[in-house]
Amino acid sequence: MKILLINSDLASNRGDRAIAEGNILLIRKHFPEAEITGLSENPERDSEWYGIDFLDMNFQSLNPVDFIRLAKAARKSDIVLWGGGEILKDYTNKAALWYWVAKISLLSRVNSNIYGAYQGIGPTKSSISKRLIVHVVGRTRKFIVRDDESHDKLISWGVSRNKVVSASDPAVIVRPEPLSDELINKICASHGVEKSFFDNFICIGPRDWFHYKQSGILPYKYKKKLLSVLRVNTVNETTEHKAYVKNLHELVATLAREHKVNILLMPMHMEESDKKLCQLLAKSNTSTQTYVADKDDLSPSELRSLISGAKAMVGFRLHSNIIGISSGVPSINVYYVDKGRVFFDQVRQSKFCLPIENSLEDTFSKDITLLLRKLLQNRDRIKSSITIETDRLRSKTINAFSDNVTRQ
């Protein structure tokens, strides 16, 4: 049996890697004999990380030869899984939506056994965008979404109720290996961090924000590259961005000082400006140790193990929180779009969730410090609660696969 996984960005997005990790685990659980093929710009590395085969290509390749290779792989496959992540939306840009609609519509002509795999439907304003999403969802056999709000959006826009299944994010089903001495020694050797760091640390997974105008035509990273080639200044230092960075600096320093913890800064996207932001924030803390996990040498399972050793997580990107929560780490979510809020609703941790706009307020570091104090004071109880809720989401996610994804 052959299964083609049309995954998202394994090259640089640690969150997308966690999604792929979950999807592969689901496939192996239900089709243990399957030959799985994914998409990767680093096929040798990712084959070692995931234990599957890869087509050597960018997941958003515009190369016609790559599409022909992908179509051939789809034609030979029994099942095509497409997802997950937040692919279908228009709030960040519009070109990516058109890309996926065209790609999946064409692939469905060579293989009608395509399944949407745990996608989130992002904010979408344009009526044309909504019709495009309805069309491409209609090209799948079943479309599994990762939350009820995505399900309800699709139904309200005109997708058949029989087509859409609500579950959770596949990254929740993966259980971490404990943070071992072997992994700690590896990190200490390659990153120059002291072993004592891991006795007492919290993790912060920041995302750069307020630094570009949303809802343009091109994705920001491609627009930035194009403007760079044209030698146009790409810096957009808005008042909001200045306030945001200033308050993040204060947050790092305050958390380290008030709670006497080491700080692990975790960039979740290795090509966007998360890494640069983390490196900048590392200079804020002078009272304890700070480590930036900016070398891309940790496999998805190693990253999960590392995060599992934290006393708490303060996450901005969704999958820093999903990895934290599903690893039993009490977490605070600063959400820049509703998917963060929705996940914390799923695990019944809404009181530890706040919108990123709060980060522009002078009280932001104080507010997060108070929330973290509540987390740490009630850590055992909260850890027990999120473990129960994660197990519930695991079962829901696994059942959605077993009940809906079938051989052709």
* DSSP structure class, residue 33: T
pLDDT value at residue 84: 82
User: What pLDDT does 217 receive?
Assistant: 54
Query: What is the token pair recorded at 288?
Result: 């304890």
pTM of the model: 0.92
Instruction: Answer yes or no: are the C-beta atoms of 134 and 101 closer than 8 Å.
Output: no
pLDDT at 206 over 70: yes
For the segment 145-174, the average pLDDT, to the nearest whole number, is 97
82-114 pLDDT per residue, tens: 988 999 998 877 889 999 999 999 999 999 999
**Could you give the domains of the chain?**
2-166 (3.40.50.2000), 181-392 (3.40.50.2000)
Would you list the DSSP string of 327-377?
TT--EEEEESSHHHHHHHHHTT-GGGEEEGGGGGSTTHHHHHHHHHHHHHH
Nearby residues of 372 by Cβ (< 8 Å), 6 or more positions away: 202, 255, 259, 312, 314, 332
Contact by Cβ (8 Å): 371, 178: no
Q: Above 70 in pLDDT, residue 233?
A: no
DSSP states along 216-260: BSS-HHHHHHHHHHTT-------HHHHHHHHHHHHHHHHHHHHHT
**Average pLDDT of the chain, as a whole number:** 93
Q: Nearest Cα to 322, choosing from 302, 336, 308?
A: 308
For residue 43, give both structure tokens.
């096929």
Classified as helix, coil or strand, 275 is helix
Query: How does residue 227 score in pLDDT terms, banded at 50, 70 and 90?
Result: low
User: What pLDDT sits at residue 52?
Assistant: 98
- Lowest mean pLDDT segment, chosen from 20-24, 122-126, 313-317: 122-126
Per-residue pLDDT tens for 294-326? 999 999 999 999 999 999 999 999 999 999 999
pLDDT tens, 207-220?
A: 999 976 655 555 55
